Amino acid sequence: MEILMPEPQIYVERTLAIIKPDVIDKEEEIEDLILRSGFHIIQKRKLQLSPEQCSNFYAEQFGKVFFPNLTAYMSSGPIVAMVLARNCAVSYWKELLGPSNSLRARITHPNSLRALYGTDELRNGLHGSVSTSSAEKEIRFLFPEAILEPVPSGQRARDYLNLYVKPTLLAGLSALCRVKPAEPL
């Protein structure tokens, strides 16, 4: 009788998280909550963006009424940018953040990060990417040295394992079986 084992899968998705200027003093507390929520912090940096950099980062919001206030707020002090990874990172991070309006978050999602750390719609404490494509773009913006290769999945992952990993493992394990140490312990 064969035991059916599920095929191993690689679950890695990245998203960008930003701790905004007004809650930077809660950095350690927020990081602890992030880690306890199953995320891995892949990269992290503390920086202060200029108003021009903020304008470029939030270019999709250009023309909206709150845009000048947003760029002034985001350039008002240091921020902490983090690349987070886990299975379905973008959707889990958005869920952990809660609604963008902190006042609404307190009512509808009282345990969300924005309910806990935000003060209003603009000063909501944290930023999160809205999609995997925006996450890649935002990560490239704040971590230009980062290598963002697509993680293989499905047949591409199986091909990679068969071509590179399995032959190396087979050769190493075969060599290990041929050698019989005098003192195994």
Question: What is the β-pairing status of strands 13-19 and 40-47?
Answer: unpaired
E strands, the chain, where? 13-19, 40-47, 79-86, 126-128
- The alpha helices in 17-123, defined as continuous H runs, are 27-36, 51-57, 67-74, 89-97, 102-108, 113-117
CA distance 22 to 124: 9
Query: Token pair of 156, please?
Result: 């591409």
Residues 6 or more apart whose CB falls under 8 angstroms from that of 119 comprise 22, 102, 125
Spatial strand order of the sheet with 40-47 comes to 40-47, 79-86, 13-19, 126-128
Q: Which residues are catalytic?
A: 127
